[in-house]
């Protein structure tokens, strides 16, 4: 495939807000309830039912806009977006088109190519639609619980040029929004969903015809869908075919995108101001109060971690991706002798244990994923750093702490896991390893020194993995030298 084409990507991200009730009625805003139990005449779109705006939605939407560097307008209003679909009972969606709440923000992402700024065109408030449930036996059913759940739609500028940048943007967006508390952004529950607008062009040329891939709800899906659609569009252009403006679906099983319907333009939606809802207004005092409630955000913490703890930019970015993780690290770092060693433990073995135990394979972490007290993880990091336990036994202790949180030193003592440093014991293990493996010894003596690692493994096994690795290695090399 030709490398002459570049991607041009803009993202529309829909984020459900964490209010107790829906945006225009008093129904509970909660995930996972029995179908059609959190509904009323308003969110069902029954004749004569009138919407009443939830003020907390306005505060959360404004907070999100401020956190993303947008200009938040004092005045905005709602419009009706008209289209026909089974999960939209009114046949229109209450949204904001002409006068959105927020405009003109940006966020900075870190990629393998360095730092990049991605612009944000607008953030507007809207209501969610219902959900179609497909079953091979009973057909398609309609769950209206999600109707009227408050959303913000965050529309990026077409500044993104790769799948890596798109995923980095979404991860950063998720981090900022979860820091503010406006949403839990659980992609596996649909509270953060992404539409990808993608076109291709040769550098310097005008934008090409774009397609839209709807409702991608994982970082992996976004990455794979972008790569698949890029290949499809380039292949079409190189074959002399045109690209049609349309909405497409990404199929995880086939790894391909397929056409859903013709892509609508704004004129197709016949927007007009909603006559049932008044203009919404934020005073200067309300703006100041919302701004004061925004906590320290990921970028601020990332810079501080680099300065205060000596972390790399990459490590600081990883630790600040989730607010709960950043707060956990700060508590543990205040108790650890080496914050850098603690950071390495978290990014390495701790993350590995979390991934291993994520049986649902959601890829999303929360505080419950790390059930170890910060003081215990700090103590384990110090034990490894001081050589009291080696990396192998450190992994065993960490796994045990995930199963049942406890003092790591007490666990190491009870299970005889402290590092073996006794010179006589180390020499005995090394000597036994050489005696049990004469072929390996001869291979080493013939000049193939790479076999040293295998001999180390044999010797380490004789100590049940407890030996100080470097001290054992020195004993092994000394004994090998005596045989030359």
pLDDT digits (tens, 9 = 90+) for 15-27: 999 999 999 999 9
| Res. 264 pLDDT band, cuts 50 70 90 | low
Report the interhelical angle of 323-333 vs 374-385 (nearest 10°). 60
313-362 per-position pLDDT tens digit: 889 989 999 999 999 999 999 999 999 999 999 999 999 999 988 866 66
Q: Report how far residue 58's alpha carbon sits from residue 70's, in angstroms, rounded to the nearest whole number.
A: 15
What rounded mean pLDDT belongs to the chain?
Answer: 92
pLDDT at residue 61, rounded to an integer: 98
Average pLDDT over residues 67-72: 97
98: Cβ contacts below 8 Å, ≥ 6 apart:
77, 79, 271, 273
Q: Report how far residue 398's alpha carbon sits from residue 404's, in angstroms, rounded to the nearest whole number.
A: 10
Average pLDDT over residues 387-415: 94
- 469 versus 207: which is more confidently predicted? 207
Would you tell me how many other CB atoms lie within 10 Å of the CB of residue 352?
A: 13
| Res. 233 pLDDT band, cuts 50 70 90 | very high
- Contact at 8 Å (CB) between 130 and 145? yes
pLDDT at residue 469, rounded to an integer: 84
Tokens 């179908």 belong to residue: 35
Report the interhelical angle of 55-67 vs 284-292 (nearest 10°). 60
SS3 at position 156: strand
pLDDT at residue 361, rounded to an integer: 61
SS3 at position 474: helix
| Res. 284 pLDDT band, cuts 50 70 90 | very high
| Res. 484 pLDDT band, cuts 50 70 90 | low
Judged against a pLDDT cut of 70, whether residue 376 lies above it is answered with yes
* DSSP code for 217: -
Q: Report how far residue 249's alpha carbon sits from residue 464's, in angstroms, rounded to the nearest whole number.
A: 53
Tokens 């666990």 belong to residue: 411
Judged against a pLDDT cut of 90, whether residue 103 lies above it is answered with yes
Q: Report how far residue 23's alpha carbon sits from residue 54's, in angstroms, rounded to the nearest whole number.
A: 5
Indicate the pairing of strand 246-251 with strand 211-216. Answer: parallel
- Contact at 8 Å (CB) between 407 and 379? yes
Average pLDDT over residues 144-154: 97
- Contact at 8 Å (CB) between 130 and 147? yes
């Amino acid at each position: 495939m030709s490398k002459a084409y570049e991607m041009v990507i803009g993202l529309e991200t829909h984020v459900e807000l964490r209010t107790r009730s829906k945006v225009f009625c008093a129904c509970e805003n909660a995930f996972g309830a029995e179908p059609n139990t959190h509904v009323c005449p308003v969110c069902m779109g029954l004749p004569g039912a009138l919407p009443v705006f939830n003020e907390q939605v306005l505060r959360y939407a404004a907070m999100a806009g401020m956190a993303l560097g947008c200009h938040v307008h004092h005045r905005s209003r709602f419009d009706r977006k008209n289209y026909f679909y089974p999960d939209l009972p009114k046949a229109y969606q209450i949204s904001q088109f002409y006068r959105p709440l927020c405009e003109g923000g940006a966020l900075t992402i870190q990629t393998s190519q360095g730092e990049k700024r991605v612009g944000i065109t607008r953030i507007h408030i809207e209501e969610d639609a219902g959900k179609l449930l497909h079953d091979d036996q009973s057909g398609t059913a309609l769950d209206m619980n999600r109707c009227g759940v408050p959303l913000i739609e965050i529309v990026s500028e077409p500044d993104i040029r790769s799948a890596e940048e798109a995923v980095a943007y979404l991860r950063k967006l998720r981090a900022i929004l979860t820091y503010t508390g406006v949403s839990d952004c659980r992609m596996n529950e649909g509270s953060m969903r992404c539409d990808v607008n993608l076109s291709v062009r040769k550098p310097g040329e005008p934008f090409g015809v774009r397609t839209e891939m709807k409702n991608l709800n994982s970082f992996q899906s976004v990455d794979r869908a972008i790569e698949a659609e890029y290949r499809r569009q380039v292949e079409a252009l190189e074959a002399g075919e045109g690209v049609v403006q349309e909405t497409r679906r990404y199929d995880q099983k086939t790894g391909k995108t397929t056409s859903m319907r013709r892509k609508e333009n704004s004129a197709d939606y016949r927007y007009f101001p909603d006559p049932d809802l008044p203009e919404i207004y934020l005073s200067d005092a309300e703006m100041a109060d919302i701004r004061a409630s925004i906590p320290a955000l990921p970028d601020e913490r990332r810079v501080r971690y680099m300065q205060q703890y000596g972390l790399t930019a990459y490590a600081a970015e990883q630790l600040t991706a989730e607010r709960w993780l950043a707060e956990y690290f700060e508590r543990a770092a205040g108790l650890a002798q080496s914050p850098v060693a603690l950071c390495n433990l978290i990014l390495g073995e701790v993350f590995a244990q979390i991934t291993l135990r994520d049986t649902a394979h959601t890829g999303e972490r929360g505080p419950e994923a790390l059930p170890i007290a910060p003081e215990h993880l700090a103590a384990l990091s110090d034990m490894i750093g001081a050589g009291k336990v080696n990396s192998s036994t450190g992994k065993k202790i960490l796994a045990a702490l995930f199963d049942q949180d406890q003092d790591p030193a007490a666990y190491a003592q009870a299970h005889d896991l402290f590092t073996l440093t006794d010179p006589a014991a180390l020499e005995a293990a090394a000597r036994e390893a050489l005696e049990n493996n004469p072929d390996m010894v001869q291979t080493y003596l013939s000049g193939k020194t790479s076999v040293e690692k295998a001999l180390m493994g044999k010797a380490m096994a004789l100590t049940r993995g407890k030996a100080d690795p470097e001290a054992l290695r020195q004993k092994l090399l000394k004994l090998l030298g005596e045989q030359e």
